[in-house]
Amino acid sequence: MSVEGSDGMDEIKPAEQGSDAAEAAAIESAPENVVMHEAPAAGRLGIFRSWVRDLVIAVAVSAFIILFLYQPVRVEGTSMLPQLEDQDRLFIDKIAYRVGEIHEGDVVVFEYPRDRSKSYIKRVIALPGDRLRIDHGRVYVNDRRLPEPYVPLRFEDDRSVAEMTLPAHEYWMMGDHRSISSDSRDFGPVDRSLIYGKAVFVYWPMEQVGVVR
């Protein structure tokens, strides 16, 4: 461009021998030639750099969210009906229990105690130190009948569990579809170290979209 700029300036030299008006016109045209040739390229480069920067930021933020905050998972099975259906896609909050407490009624994701390569999703029924017993399907925690509006009548069962006190750092998990769920009634309480996420939001299919309760 510098060579072309010199040639352009050479082209206006003859005008220096003419009238003042011609000289003014020639001088005024030089900056216009520079603008016409250089600005569009610089503008396109700036737009491209801005686009790349925004893309990098978006990817970095998405990676941060997926790696440290939320993780998409797919439900396989029907033990959490009617709240969660087979093949539902949902987000789990992976930081909730790093900074907060696990509460009774939370729907959580944990590594299966008998095979840590698998993950289960169940509801927290009792906490460490709680006294738990199940009498023909009716759940009692610390001698209080646990209200369970998330278990429809048609999904109840009549299994019983003798009274026990949950050890420190262990949680009692059960599926909402009691008659088919494999849960703490089968494999016992779940250690705190195995629990790694809280189910928060179903994003697919559309008819199931909503907060997990």
Please give the positions annotated as active site: 79, 122
3-state secondary structure of 61: helix
Residues 6+ apart with CB under 8 A from 130: 141, 142, 165, 166, 172
**What's the rounded Cα separation, in Å, for the pair 65 and 59?**
10
**What's the rounded Cα separation, in Å, for the pair 62 and 70?**
10
Residue 77 DSSP class:
S
The DSSP-derived string for 104-135 is TT-EEEEE-TT-TTSEEEEEEEE-TT-EEEEE
Q: Torsions phi, psi of 70, nearest 5?
A: -120, 150
Burial, 176: exposed, middle or buried (Cβ in 10 Å; 0-12, 13-18, 19+)?
A: buried
Contact 171, 194 (CB under 8 A): no
Nearest to 122 by CA among 169, 83, 71, 173: 173
